[in-house]
A = this chain, B = another copy of it.
Amino acid sequence: MPHPLPSGPEQRPIATVDIVIVTLSEGALRLGLQRRDREPHKGELALIGGYVRPEEDGDIEASARRILADKGRLTGLYLEQLRSFGGPSRDPRGWSISIAYLALVPEATLRAAETRGAPPFELIDPDRCPRLPFDHGRIIAAALQRLRSKASYSTLPAFLLGSQFTLPELKSVYETVMGTPLNDSAFRRKLMEMHILEEVEAKAAATAERKRPAQLYRLAKETLTEFDRTV
């Protein structure tokens, strides 16, 4: 059955990018959502997203980074592409594709973006998320599944922290993402064996919980490292 070739623009679906911003607030995972500033669904909480712009974007990740900069005043984030969602009814404007990304962002980075003019990020508990427009609920479910399934064998959770952190802070974020307590010495040993951390010269100041200054670390490379699964 030969079909006519639908390469003409009039037969093309709408192509968009949506980014699931995940942050850590008071030790708990939170979604960073914004209220939409235009129709459809104007005023509703939703993922940050926008169109792929062939005239501007070098690739799909460039679309995501442009949207994050324009609408969220966010640059230099760690981004991971999830999967694409598409169909006739997910967007009232027509048959559309959304290429979904996961962005892990420290809360301080979101607050700094707001001081540079970004509309407020509302931090929502993913387990108590209201019904969202489009299929954003489904996209968020895919993002959380990716984050949790990769946590145990990669440095992914570390991107929820700032550039420098103590080992107890890092352990805590892994525990939060994985939803399970980790053995302290096994966690330290695994990290040290993997050579993914570098000591930072400065130390974290003493606090009420921490009587002495603590050693600070950073990721040896600010890219995602997958742990050797056989370790």
Report whether A13 and B10 are in contact in the complex, using a CB–CB cutoff of 8 Å: no
Number of copies: 2
A window 76-111: CB within 8 A of B = 81-88, 93-95, 97, 99
Q: Chain A, interface size: which category?
A: 35 or more
Q: Given A13-B12, A54-B13, A70-B1, are A7 and B84 neighbors across the interface (CB < 8 Å)? A: no
Residues of B near A15 (CB, < 8 A) are: 12-13, 15, 97
Q: Is A181 an interface residue (CB 8 A)?
A: no
Report whether A60 and B81 are in contact in the complex, using a CB–CB cutoff of 8 Å: no
Q: Is A204 an interface residue (CB 8 A)?
A: no
Q: Is A11 an interface residue (CB 8 A)?
A: yes
Residues of B near A14 (CB, < 8 A) are: 7, 12
Given contacts A3-B53, A7-B51, A84-B84, 7 further A-B contacts (CB under 8 A): A7-B93, A12-B13, A13-B15, A13-B52, A52-B97, A54-B95, A59-B86
